[in-house]
């Protein structure tokens, strides 16, 4: 399936947006014509055989969806963006058609009652996916509004406009041409501006510049999702979207976010704070050298990398081929731009994994090396997972927690520890607080007004950054996660907290942890694995309490 698209992609080396037009055209053609047949699955004699035959049909649909996500990593022209959007809508319509099939609805519920862990999990996920289907009109509204917001936040016309003369940088410091550059770079302005009040006013004005462009689109998303929640019998979309998660209620998410809230420097003062802190001393490495070091650290887990050529690696685990990794490296990449782009999800018995990795020439600081380690950890977690169904291998919290745990293990093995007063540690702490604040914004936006747990966003901003901000609620328009992830924006923070908890307190040795978290051949649930890892079933309250103390402390 989709061999033509993959062949063209490989020939073009995944690099230049203009070159991606041809595979996008191919992808669009296959999208529009694609249709899943349930006839073979319906003719099966057993539940297991029916699930295998269904998987063979669905895998093509899922591969097309992954291809759409892959090409969105690249800057595209308007026609290609529209082609991908139409492809996405068609695939959503096709799954919606399947979700209306009476046989599939009944079969999903039967699988959910199965004693076979893999079938049971598949049945649960399919039943949930079917229940979450929305109308074509709602899908069109959401996809169009989300695309509009993503495009709007990328536009260069969201420039820095300084209205007060006293806050303009003096002419003797910068010439007219340089001033123009600063007007498009908030970081440059904050570096050169010495007046703290000006820094604050300009930063705050800059953060809400997207409101005018994105307010209508986000309002449409909020309205549409609220209607979806009401259709399912929930009072708001926050309650609906959280109902099947480990933190199943807004109050639990609030408890977690409050536990992660720590006061640190304000965003407009961050540069000055970091300038006073020492950088972590680290040896510069080429991307290839660090990749080889990571490979050596993974060998004790039975992983082996086979070099096919200078652009392609194969990953093996104890003699089993997991998939292929395509390398994009050299001067065409931006410095420190290690990035993983999944092409195809590994599914045991169906297909190998295929991913691309942007590999920078030089990694001369802590962050750039950490990014490559994180990318390789994600690659391994995507390829090695032992499930026989695509949905089991991709949905839920499991893979993310496994990836973060492996990334933590590799980071501890290959990089020096971060002193709490280092520039890198404090930048991490600030980044966490920004995500915590944005998670509060997203949770609140999707709650009905009478249910909102965060009533004063200016106060919440002050808890993280030391100073109130009267327009803090308008920051909801300045990040795409508010439109796409919504109330689930907090999830990466939660997954990282769980991974740190496992890394610090697990009763198993590292090899056993690797096999339980990343392979999970027995298809145990997350709760079952956490019970094995900690020796008893940890409650959400216990994890929340412990996670409050596991993050670096910001410097005020």
**Ramachandran region of residue 318, left (φ > 0), alpha (ψ -120 to 50) or beta?**
left
Task: Give the model's pLDDT for residue 221.
Answer: 98
3-state secondary structure at position 486 = helix
Count CA atoms within 13 Å of residue 181 on its CB side: 7
What is the rounded CA–CA span in Å between residue 322 and residue 525? Answer: 22
The DSSP symbol for 166 reads G
Task: Give the model's pLDDT for residue 162.
Answer: 62
Strand 353-359 relative to strand 362-363: parallel, antiparallel, unpaired? Answer: unpaired
What is the rounded CA–CA span in Å between residue 488 and residue 467? Answer: 26
Count CA atoms within 13 Å of residue 530 on its CB side: 18
Transcribe 393-443 into DSSP letters.
Answer: HHSSSHHHHHHHHHHHHHHHHHSPPPPTTSHHHHHHHHHHHHHHHHHHHHH
What is the rounded CA–CA span in Å between residue 530 and residue 521? Answer: 15
Token pair of 237 as six digits: 């979309």
pTM for the full model? 0.88
Task: Give the model's pLDDT for residue 109.
Answer: 96
Task: Give the model's pLDDT for residue 330.
Answer: 56
What are the residues whose beta carbons fall under 8 Å from the beta carbon of 139, sequence distance 6 or more? Answer: 89, 92, 93, 96
Q: Which domains does the chain have, with CATH numbers?
A: 165-209 (no CATH), 285-414 (3.40.390.10)
Strands of the 339-344 sheet, one edge to the other: 303-309, 312-317, 320-329, 353-359, 339-344
Q: What percent of the chain has pLDDT over 90?
A: 69
556 residues of the chain, pLDDT tens digit each: 444 444 434 433 444 444 444 689 889 989 988 999 999 999 999 999 999 999 999 999 999 999 999 998 888 888 898 899 899 889 988 999 999 999 999 999 999 999 999 999 999 999 999 998 998 899 889 989 998 999 888 775 555 556 566 787 765 344 444 444 444 467 778 878 888 889 898 888 888 888 988 999 999 999 999 999 999 999 999 999 999 999 999 999 999 999 999 999 999 999 889 989 999 999 999 999 999 999 999 999 999 999 999 999 999 999 999 999 999 875 445 556 789 999 999 999 999 999 999 999 999 999 999 999 999 999 999 999 989 999 999 998 889 999 999 999 999 999 999 999 999 999 999 999 999 999 999 999 999 999 999 999 999 999 999 999 999 999 999 999 999 999 999 999 999 999 999 999 999 999 999 999 999 988 898 989 999 999 876 666 667 666 665 555 555 4
Task: Give the model's pLDDT for residue 551.
Answer: 54
What is the rounded CA–CA span in Å between residue 349 and residue 389? Answer: 9
Query: Measured between alpha carbons, how far is residue 71 from residues 61, 66, 342, 376, 394 in Å?
Result: 16, 9, 10, 20, 19
CB burial string 283-309: b at 16+ within 10 A, e below: eebebeebbebbbebbeebbbebeeee
Task: Give the model's pLDDT for residue 334.
Answer: 53
Total residue count of the chain as it appears in this document? 556
Rounded to the nearest 10°, the torsion over CA 96, 101, 104, 109 is 90
């Amino acid at each position: 399936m989709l061999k033509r698209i993959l062949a063209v992609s490989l020939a073009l080396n995944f690099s230049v947006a203009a070159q991606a037009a041809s595979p996008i055209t191919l992808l669009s053609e296959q999208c529009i014509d694609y249709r899943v047949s349930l006839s073979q699955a319906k003719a099966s004699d057993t539940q297991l055989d029916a699930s295998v035959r269904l998987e063979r049909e669905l895998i093509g649909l899922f591969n097309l969806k992954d291809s759409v996500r892959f090409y969105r990593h690249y800057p595209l022209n308007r026609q290609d963006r529209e082609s991908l959007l139409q492809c996405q809508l068609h695939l959503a319509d096709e799954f919606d058609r399947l979700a209306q099939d009476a046989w599939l609805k009944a079969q999903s519920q039967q699988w959910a009652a199965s004693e076979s862990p893999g079938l049971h999990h598949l049945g649960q996920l399919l039943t949930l996916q079917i229940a979450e289907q929305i109308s074509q009109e709602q899908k069109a509204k959401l996809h169009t509004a989300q695309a509009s917001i993503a495009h709007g936040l990328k536009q260069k016309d969201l420039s820095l406009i300084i209205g007060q003369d006293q806050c303009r940088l003096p002419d003797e410091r910068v010439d007219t041409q340089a001033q123009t550059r600063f007007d498009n770079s908030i970081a440059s302005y904050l570096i050169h501006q010495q007046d703290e009040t000006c820094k604050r006013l300009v930063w705050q004005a800059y953060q809400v510049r997207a409101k005018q462009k994105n307010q209508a689109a986000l309002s449409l998303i909020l309205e549409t999702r609220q209607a979806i929640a009401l259709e399912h019998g929930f009072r708001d979309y926050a309650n609906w979207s959280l109902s099947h998660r480990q933190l199943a209620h807004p109050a639990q998410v609030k408890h977690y976010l409050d536990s992660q809230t720590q006061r640190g420097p304000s965003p407009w003062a961050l540069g000055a704070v970091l300038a006073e802190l020492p950088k972590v001393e680290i040896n510069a490495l080429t991307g290839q050298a660090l990749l080889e070091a990571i490979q050596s650290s993974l060998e004790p887990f039975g992983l082996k990398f086979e070099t096919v050529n200078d652009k392609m690696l194969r990953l093996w685990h104890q003699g089993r081929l997991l998939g292929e990794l395509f390398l994009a490296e050299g001067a065409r990449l931006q410095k420190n731009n290690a990035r993983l782009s999944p092409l195809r999800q590994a599914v045991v018995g169906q297909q190998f994994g295929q991913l691309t990795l942007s590999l920078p020439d030089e990694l001369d600081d802590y962050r750039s090396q950490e990014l490559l380690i994180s990318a390789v950890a994600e690659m391994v977690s995507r390829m090695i997972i032992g499930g026989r169904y695509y949905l089991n291998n991709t949905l839920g919290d499991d893979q993310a927690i496994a990836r973060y745990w492996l990334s933590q293990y590799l980071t501890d093995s290959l990089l020096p520890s971060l002193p709490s007063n280092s520039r890198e540690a404090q930048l991490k702490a600030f980044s966490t607080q920004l995500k915590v604040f944005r998670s509060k914004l997203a949770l609140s936006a999707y709650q009905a007004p009478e249910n909102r747990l965060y009533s004063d966003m200016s106060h919440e901003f002050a808890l993280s950054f030391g100073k109130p901000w009267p327009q803090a609620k308008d920051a909801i328009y300045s990040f795409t996660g508010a439109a796409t992830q919504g109330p689930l924006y907090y999830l990466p923070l939660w997954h990282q907290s769980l991974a740190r908890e496992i890394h610090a307190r697990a009763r198993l040795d590292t090899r056993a942890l690797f096999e339980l978290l990343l392979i999970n051949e027995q298809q145990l649930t997350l709760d079952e694995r956490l019970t094995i890892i900690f020796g008893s079933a940890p409650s959400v309250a216990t994890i929340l309490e412990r996670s409050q103390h596991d993050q670096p402390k910001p410097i005020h």
